[in-house]
Amino acid sequence: MQSHRAGNALAAFSFVLWGILPLYYQFLPEADINELLAFRIIFSVPVMLITIGLLKRPFPSWQTIWADKHSLIATSIAAAIMCISWYAFTWAITHDQVLAASLGFFINPLFAIALGVIFLKERLSHAQSAAVILAIAGIAYQVWHYGELPWISLIMGSFFALYGLCKKYIRYDALTSVTMEAAILAPLALAFMAVQGISGQSVALSSDLSTLLLYIGSAPVTLAPLIFFALAISRTSLTMVGLMQYIEPTLQFLLAVFLFGEVFDEIKAISFSLIWLGLLLCTLEALQGVYRRKFIHAENTSI
């Protein structure tokens, strides 16, 4: 019970950290997105290795990693997918589109449900079916009025769901997987920064020290919630994680509307409301399942 509570606390804290990430990027309003992504990848490797050392977790040998070709390929695909998702997220929060980022994370569970049906042959419950239909209606309402798809939100939501699907095929532990994702991409990121530096076109390398440190700091501030999440996942249930994941887009939504002053008009209000209604139905269904299992367990214990 104590471990379960600790897991819930760690999971909630990880989603809070993810939710307030836009605050950090307000210090880099004119950041070069390509270089920001490169710095995040490069410095993720030492940050993860230090973290694994501090947590005294065993890191598998390179022979062990190489021997599991299936996981290595899946990790490489996951790394590429995460790059796209993270690029879209970083662009959104550095271009006054935090509301779009929030929408992306709100619709992510619905993309995950759809992928589960397509690839894992999972069956939709009535609440999940309704949620998917309501999400499609919410997006369609925006398209009808604005005349364009919310591309950033759709890219973020779909690619993060694809990332989650890839993780199901990786047999490495969570921390090793994240470290390997960065290590696989690091040579490309280093080559890109070398070209930028030699050509004299690098924004980060030609900036003052405080700005350069903010570029470097993008690695630990984005990895911190991931590390807390990895520590939480073995201590709590996936149901609780699913319920708490809405902390992140909710905080981003509140920051966008009340702190950053982004426009939340009637069209977005109706679109978001349709999506929120679908998520509410899924949440109530999940809570009903939790209480039903607890009731059955209590009955079996008392017999």
pLDDT, tens digit, 9 for 90 and up, residues 32-74: 999 999 999 999 999 999 999 998 888 888 888 999 999 999 9
pLDDT at position 289 over 80: no
Rounded Cα distance, 73 and 75, in Å? 5
The first and second tokens of residue 65, run together, are: 């990693």
pLDDT of residue 234: 64
pLDDT at position 22 over 90: yes
Of 126-140, 152-166, 237-251, which gets the smallest average pLDDT? 237-251
pLDDT of residue 105: 87
The first and second tokens of residue 257, run together, are: 């509307």
pLDDT band at 77 (very low <50, low <70, confident <90, very high): very high
pLDDT digits (tens, 9 = 90+) for 180-196: 999 999 999 999 999 99
pLDDT of residue 123: 81
Per the CB < 8 A criterion, the answer to whether 139 and 149 are in contact is yes
Rounded Cα distance, 137 and 179, in Å? 39
pLDDT band at 235 (very low <50, low <70, confident <90, very high): confident
Percent of the chain surpassing pLDDT 90: 44
Comparing 214 with 160, the larger pLDDT belongs to 214
pLDDT of residue 98: 93
The first and second tokens of residue 6, run together, are: 């600790």
pLDDT of residue 298: 56
Residue 242's identity, in one-letter code, is G
Comparing 252 with 11, the larger pLDDT belongs to 252
What is the dihedral sign for C-alpha 59, 241, 123, 136? negative
The first and second tokens of residue 145, run together, are: 């009025």
Q: Phi first, then psi: what are they for 180, rounded to 5°?
A: -65, -35
Of 113-127, 151-165, 210-224, 269-283, which gets the smallest average pLDDT? 113-127
Other residues' Cβ atoms within 10 Å of the Cβ of residue 81: 21
The first and second tokens of residue 68, run together, are: 């599991």
The whole-chain average pLDDT of the chain stands at 86
pLDDT of residue 215: 95
Residue 178, C-beta contacts closer than 8 angstroms, at least 6 positions apart: 44, 48, 223, 226, 230
Of 97-101, 109-113, 184-188, 219-223, which gets the smallest average pLDDT? 109-113
The first and second tokens of residue 107, run together, are: 């619709």
Q: CB-based burial of residue 1 (10 Å sphere; 0-12 exposed, 13-18 middle, 19+ buried)?
A: exposed
Of 114-118, 172-176, 201-205, 295-299, which gets the smallest average pLDDT? 295-299
Comparing 225 with 38, the larger pLDDT belongs to 38
DSSP state at residue 57: P
